[in-house]
Structure 1
Amino acid sequence: MDNLTHSLVGALLGQAGLKRKTGLAMPTLIIAANIPDIDAVAVLLGGSQHLALRRGITHGPIAMVVLPLLLWGIMLWFDRWQTRRGKRPESRLPVDTKWLLALAYIGCLSHPLFDWFNSYGIRLLEPFSSQWFYGDTIFIIDIWLWCALIAGVWLSLRGERRGRQNWRTPALVSMSTIFAYIAANGLITGRAEQLTGNAVQSQFGVVPAMVVANPVPVQFWKREMLWRDATHYGQGSFSVPDAVSLDPKIGKHNMGDAEAVAQMARDKNADAFLFWSRMPVLREQVHGSSNVRVLSDQRFGNPLVQDRFTVAVPAENPEK
C-alpha cells in the first residue's frame, strides 16, 4: 500500500487507545507502520533492478524481529536525549519500555499485512523463501480505505480534544469497517476468479493455468480480469454480482520460448523483472533497423503505468 495508508493505519491504532499506553506511542506506531519501506532506496539502482529488491528482505520474518527492536532503541534514546537537554514535553506520558516495544512490533507487523492485500506482491518469507504472495483484494491506493482511516482518526481526535469519554469509539468503528470492507473485497475477488475461469473454458475451450482478479481504482465492486494458459493470455472484466465480460482478442505470451527468455535473463534489468513478474509477456518489436524484445506484465497494462513496468533488450542475432 501507499505510505499515507500505512501512516493512517498507525495513527488509527493509536487513536483506538494504544497511544495512552506509553509516551511516544503515536510516533512509534506511525514510524513502525512505514519502516519496512526502507527498501525504497533500491530505486537508486535505476532501471528495473529495484523490482527484485522491493517488498523482500525488509518485509520478511527477520526484519519483523529486528526493525522494531531498532526503532525501540532509537525512540528510547530520543526520549532520554530530550530529557537531558530539558526539552522533553511535560505533557508526554512516561515511557513504558515494554509497551513501547510492543507498539513497535504492532505497527511494523501492520505493514506486510496491508501490503499483502494488493496484487503487486510481497515476499513474506524472505530470506528463507523468495516466493511471492498476493492478496488481490484491494487496489494499491484505495480511496475508500483512505476515507475510513481519515474519518476514524479525525473523529477520534476531535472527541478526545473535547474531553469525551468515548473518544476511542470512532477509531474502533473505523477499524471494524475497514476489515469488513477488506473481507468483502476478498469475497468479490474469489467470486470473480471462479466465474472468469468458467467463462474462459466456455468461450475459448481452454482451462486457464492462472486467473487473477486485479483490483481497480475507486470501483471496488469491479475487477480487471487476467488469465493465461501455457501459451496464450487474455483479459476481461467483472462486476458484482456475476457479470463477466471477456475480451475476444487473445495473444501469445511467449514465455515458453526458452531461448528468448534465457537471452532476456542475461540482462540485469530483465532478470530482475522476470524474478518479480507474476504474469510476464514477451514481445518482439522492430525499432528502426533493429529488433528488440520487450517484457511486460499483464497486471500493469494500463498506459498510465505501463512504461514503468516494461524492459526492452536488443534481440540477439541467432547467426552470430
Structure 2
Amino acid sequence: MDNLTHSLAGWALAETGLKRRTRKGLAALVLAANMPDIDVFFGWAPWAPLAMHRGFTHGLVGGVVLMPPFLAALLWLLDRWEVSRGKIAADAPPLRFGWLVLLSYLGAITHPLLDLQNVYAIQLFSPMSEEWFHTDGLFIVSPWLLAMLGGGIWLARRRERGGQALLALAAGAVFIGANMGISAMACQALLRSEPYPQPDRVFASPAPLRFWKRDMIWRENGVISFGHYDPLQGALRVTGQGASVPDNMALPLVQQAARATPDAVKFLAWSQMPVARVKTQGCQATVTFADARFTGPAMARNFNTVVNLPAC
C-alpha cells in the first residue's frame, strides 16, 4: 500500500487512546506502520532478502519480530536527548519503554497485513522462504480505505473520543474482508468460465474506485491470459478474455538471458508473472523481461529489465 495509508492506519490506532499510554506513542505507531518500507534504501545490499522490496523487512521475522525494538530504542534515545535539553513540556505524559515497544510492534504488524492485500504481494516468511503471498483485497492506493481511516481520525480528534477511530478501523477491516471475498469469487468464476482454464498462477487486481471489479491475469502452460470480473454483471463468469500471449520463459535464449546479468536475476526473483520479448538484429539478441501484472503504459519503464546477448 501507499505510505499515506500506512501512516493513517498507525495514526488511527493511536487515536483509539493508545497514544496516551506513553510519551511518543503516536510517533511509535505511525513510524512502525511505515518502517518495513526501509528496504527501498537497500537495493544495493548483497543479501537478496534485504535488497528485495517486500522481502525480509516485510516478513514476519524482519518486519514484525526484529525491527520494532530497534525503533522503540531510537525513540527512547531521542526522548532522553530532548529531556537533557529541556525540550519536554512539564505536563507531558511519562515515557514508558514497555508501552513504546508494544506500540512499535502493533504498528509494525499493520504493514504486512496491508501490503498483503494487493497484487504486488510480500514474502511473508522471508528469509526462510521466497514464496510470495497476496490476497488481492485492495488496489495499491484505495481511496475508500483512505476515506475511512482519515474520517475516523478527524472525528476522533474533533470529539476527543477514541470510539470513532476504532469504528473506522473496524469498517476498514470489514471492507478488506469483503474485497478478499470478491477476489476469491473471481478466481472461482475463472475456473467455471470457458474455456475452463486450470492456471498455475492467478491474480485478481481490484479497481481503485469501482472496488468490486477485478482485472484478471492468469498463467497456464506458459501462456498469459487476461480478463475481467464484475459480480454485478455476473458473479459466476469472467468476461472480456482477449488474445493470450506466450510468456516465452522456456526459450533457450531467454533462459540464457535470465542468468546473464545481476539485474535480470534480481528482477526474475521479484517477478511472479514474468514474460519475455525477444528481438534479434544481426548477431545481437535483445531480451526484455517484464511482469504481466504491470503491463500498462505507465508501468512499462519501471517494471522491466533488458539483457543483450550475442545471437551468432
Q: Compute the TM-score of the two structures, normalised by the length of structure 1.
A: 0.89
Q: Can you list the C-alpha shifts for 1:224-272, whole angstroms capped at 9, x where unaligned?
A: 0111211322101111242521323111111222552232222111111
Residues 148, 122 of structure 1: alpha-carbon distance in 2 compared, 3 angstrom cutoff: same
C-alpha displacement of 1:315: 3.7
Q: How does 1:127-138 map to 2 (within 5 A)?
A: 127-138=127-138
Query: Residue 72 of structure 2 corresponds to which residue in structure 1?
Result: 72
Unaligned runs of 5+ in 1: 161-166
Residues 42, 73 of structure 1: alpha-carbon distance in 2 compared, 3 angstrom cutoff: closer
Q: Aligned partners of 1:185 and 1:61: how far apart in 2?
A: 23
Residues 137, 89 of structure 1: alpha-carbon distance in 2 compared, 3 angstrom cutoff: same
Query: Residue 164 of structure 1 corresponds to which residue in structure 2?
Result: none
Query: Residue 25 of structure 1 corresponds to which residue in structure 2?
Result: 25
Query: Residue 163 of structure 1 corresponds to which residue in structure 2?
Result: none
Q: How does 1:82-231 map to 2 (within 5 A)?
A: 82-160=82-160, 167-199=161-193, 202-203=194-195, 206-231=197-222
1:252 aligned onto 2:246:
yes
Aligned-residue RMSD, C-alpha: 2.1
1:316 aligned onto 2:303:
no
Alignment counterpart, residue 228 of structure 2, candidates 222, 237, 245: 237
Instruction: State the AA in 1 paired with 2:219.
Output: R
Partner SS for 1:224: strand
Instruction: State the AA in 2 paired with 1:216.
Output: A
Q: Would you identify which runs of 4 or more consecutive aligned residues in structure 1 move more than 6 Å?
A: none
Instruction: State the AA in 1 paired with 2:52.
Output: L
Q: Aligned partners of 2:49 and 2:128: how far apart in 1?
A: 20
Q: Aligned partners of 2:231 and 2:91: how far apart in 1?
A: 50
Partner SS for 1:246: coil
Instruction: State the AA in 2 paired with 1:59.
Output: H
Instruction: State the AA in 2 paired with 1:220.
Output: F
Q: Aligned partners of 2:273 and 2:100: how far apart in 1?
A: 42
Q: How does 1:39-54 map to 2 (within 5 A)?
A: 39-43=39-43, 53-54=52-53
Partner SS for 2:157: helix
Contact 2:43 2:51 in 1 (8 A): no
Query: Residue 299 of structure 1 corresponds to which residue in structure 2?
Result: 293
C-alpha displacement of 1:107: 0.7
Q: Compute the TM-score of the two structures, normalised by the length of structure 2.
A: 0.91
Instruction: State the AA in 1 paired with 2:139.
Output: F
Query: Residue 56 of structure 1 corresponds to which residue in structure 2?
Result: 55
Contact 1:265 1:274 in 2 (8 A): no
Q: How many residues align?
A: 306
Greater shift, 243-252 or 95-104, is seen at: 243-252
Greater shift, 208-217 or 283-292, is seen at: 283-292
Query: Residue 12 of structure 1 corresponds to which residue in structure 2?
Result: 12
C-alpha displacement of 1:290: 4.5
Residues 179, 230 of structure 1: alpha-carbon distance in 2 compared, 3 angstrom cutoff: same
Q: Aligned partners of 2:126 and 2:105: how far apart in 1?
A: 18
Residues 52, 74 of structure 1: alpha-carbon distance in 2 compared, 3 angstrom cutoff: closer
C-alpha displacement of 1:192: 0.6
Instruction: State the AA in 2 paired with 1:101.
Output: V
Instruction: State the AA in 2 paired with 1:103.
Output: L
Residues 198, 51 of structure 1: alpha-carbon distance in 2 compared, 3 angstrom cutoff: farther
Partner SS for 1:248: coil
C-alpha displacement of 1:133: 1.2
Q: Aligned partners of 1:257 and 1:75: how far apart in 2?
A: 53
C-alpha displacement of 1:43: 5.0
Contact 1:43 1:50 in 2 (8 A): no
Instruction: State the AA in 2 paired with 1:237.
Output: H
Instruction: State the AA in 2 paired with 1:114.
Output: L
Instruction: State the AA in 2 paired with 1:232.
Output: V
Residues 143, 259 of structure 1: alpha-carbon distance in 2 compared, 3 angstrom cutoff: same
C-alpha displacement of 1:152: 0.7
Instruction: State the AA in 1 paired with 2:198.
Output: V
Unaligned runs of 5+ in 2: none
Residues 91, 146 of structure 1: alpha-carbon distance in 2 compared, 3 angstrom cutoff: farther
C-alpha displacement of 1:139: 0.9
C-alpha displacement of 1:85: 1.2
Contact 2:290 2:305 in 1 (8 A): yes
